Amino acid sequence: MSEKKTTENEYSVTAIDQPTSDAINASLKKQLREKEQQLAGYMDAIAVSITAIEFDLEGHILAANTNFQQLLGYSEHHLLGKHHSILIDKEYAGSQAYSQFWKSLKKGQVQKGEFKYFDNNGQIVWLSGSYNPILNTSGQPYKILKLATDVTLAKTQLQQLATDAKEKEKRASELVIANKELAFQNREKEMRAAELIIANKELEFQNEQKEKKAIELIAANIELAVQSKEKEKRAAELIIANKKLAMETIQKEKRKAEKEKRAAELIVTNRELAHQEKRGRELTLANDELRKAQEELGAFSYSVSHDLRAPIRAINGYTQILLEDHADLVDEDGKKVLQSIIKNSKKMGMLIDDLLAFSKLGRKQVNAVAIDMNALVQSVLDDLSIEDDKTIPIFKVASLAPANGDQSLIRQVWVNLISNAIKYSKYKSEIRITISSAAKKDKVIYCIEDLGAGFDMAYYDKLFGVFQRLHSQEEFDGTGIGLAIVQKIINRHHGNVWATSELNIGSSFYFSLPGINH
């Protein structure tokens, strides 16, 4: 008998004589044992770097090298005789694809790729390699050899890179949305500026009408003076009345001169407003980065708020003139409307003042010093002004720890929070406010508690927003900027501000500052 190698794993037998069938069988068995010994030698040779495991054609484990046992946390005793399916996903083990996988191996087809295993602790292990059918001397598979290397680390890193890439794409999408929102806000501001220009033009027209009426009034006064000369022979009482009328005419002429002066000031103000509005639009177009736009947004709001002062003053002034000089020409409903205009223009002025204060915070330098918080809070309480018909608040102030900060800015924080606590407790029979502090690592946390109206925590996200209000204007007055100012000041001190509340039970506001040793 002699052997002829036809493939890497396949041999054929060529007869050179005519031995008996027993001799042939003995020779074939010998060759098979030699083949198995050779295969075992291969497995021992690769045991130092590659995982190897043998299966029969039904998937039962015949052997596993040390690397495989250590990598998956199994002992050889635990593995031998067990089915391949104990090492893989249970759902996949019951699938049609898994059945087809073994059918292909039984046909002698090598299966290569990356395979997911589960170790003895249930953790995923990725192996890259192949399932190799081992052929007998008849060229038929009789067992399967799995050779592979551990690629779990590389696979995990690739998955992490894919996750990071998706996160970056998500952040890029969010940035695009933010830029679109900023562009929308800029368009809204341009529309408001255009509306303001139209309002100014309407105001100019009204001034022209008033001037015409003033001219007519002068002509009437001249006519009245002529008539007065013709009636000099009338009784002394009539002469006195005419003198009084002449004095009133002089006063009206003075007022006319003041009106013309105010109109001239308004024209100059409108021109400045148009010039500054043009600069605002140019500045808006220059914002090519979101971060730059956010930094310049405070300066832009300051400019717009400052420019709104002039038309508000004009509206208030001309309304006062109507009430004082032409009250006899306006009925009661008209007077109520004019009073409402004055009231709302004053409210608008307060909003502008608060907005200016808010925008200035971004530019004010923080001069941090050690603050005696007990003295600072006491000075705020001493300066409180309570109307005679209002409930006097009862304060319970614990000993407060000192902190580092800008004393004038932190004073504004206390003023805003204490004023809010009083305002939102005004409908309670008794106003009780508790102020305390607690040290935590390098921070000091201050707390202001009240038993007032409280708010629904579902709307907490709006609490510190500019112009955001959780109660109606009729119920509690205010501009909606106080808490936004508090948050901005505390953020500039590298601290945090937050709140907890329960509707109709009360609220607790907290803020943190660096300790004096920080």
- 88-144 pLDDT, tens digit per residue, is 989 899 999 999 999 999 999 999 988 989 999 989 999 999 999 999 888 899 999
Per-residue pLDDT, 133: 95
CA atoms within 13 Å, Cβ hemisphere of 72: 25
Is residue 194 over pLDDT 60? Answer: yes
Segment among 233-247, 248-262, 349-363, 426-440 with least mean pLDDT = 349-363
Mean pLDDT score, 386-409: 86
Per-residue pLDDT, 511: 95
Per-residue pLDDT, 454: 81
The Cα 407–Cα 371 span in angstroms is 6
Among residues 266, 119, 288, 129, the alpha carbon closest in space to that of 202 is found at 266
Q: Which of 232-246, 256-270, 419-433 has the largest mean confidence? A: 419-433
Mean pLDDT score, 321-339: 79
Is residue 3 over pLDDT 50? Answer: no
Instruction: Kindly state the percentage of the chain with pLDDT values over 70.
Output: 80
Catalogue the E-assigned strands of 197-354: none
Q: In which residue ranges of the chain is CATH 3.30.450.20 found?
A: 2-150
pTM, 2 dp: 0.39
CATH of range 2-150; options 2.40.50.140, 2.60.200.20, 3.30.450.20, 3.20.20.70 = 3.30.450.20
Is residue 5 over pLDDT 50? Answer: no
Among residues 265, 340, 351, the alpha carbon closest in space to that of 308 is found at 351
Segment among 218-227, 372-381, 430-439 with least mean pLDDT = 218-227
Helices (H), 73-151: 76-79, 90-93, 96-106
- 440-455 pLDDT, tens digit per residue, is 888 999 999 998 888 8
Segment among 23-37, 231-245, 285-299 with least mean pLDDT = 285-299
Catalogue the E-assigned strands of 335-423: 369-371, 394-397, 403-405
Segment among 28-32, 64-68, 211-215 with least mean pLDDT = 28-32
Per-residue pLDDT, 7: 31
In terms of pLDDT, which residue wins out, 177 or 49? Answer: 177
Confidence of residue 49 (pLDDT cuts 50, 70, 90): low
Per-residue pLDDT, 15: 34
The Cα 403–Cα 371 span in angstroms is 5
For the record, the structure tokens of 55 come out as 């299966």
Per-residue pLDDT, 143: 94
3-class secondary structure, 52? strand
Mean pLDDT score, 156-177: 84
The Cα 442–Cα 444 span in angstroms is 7
| Cα–Cα distances in angstroms (integers) from residue 130 to residues 105, 110, 145, in the given order | 11, 7, 8
Per-residue pLDDT, 146: 93
CA atoms within 13 Å, Cβ hemisphere of 308: 22
Per-residue pLDDT, 112: 92
Per-residue pLDDT, 14: 32
For the record, the structure tokens of 97 come out as 């694809």
CA dihedral (471, 477, 481, 483) positive or negative: negative
In terms of pLDDT, which residue wins out, 128 or 287? Answer: 128
Span 369-514 CATH architecture: 2-Layer Sandwich (3.30)
Q: In which residue ranges of the chain is CATH 3.30.565.10 found?
A: 369-514
Contacts 24+ apart (CB under 8 A), 492-499: 492/361, 492/366, 492/409, 493/366, 493/368, 493/404, 493/405, 493/406, 493/409, 493/410, 495/443, 497/464, 499/460, 499/463
Confidence of residue 225 (pLDDT cuts 50, 70, 90): confident
Mean pLDDT score, 189-211: 85
Q: Which of 203-207, 268-272, 350-354, 368-372 has the largest mean confidence? A: 368-372
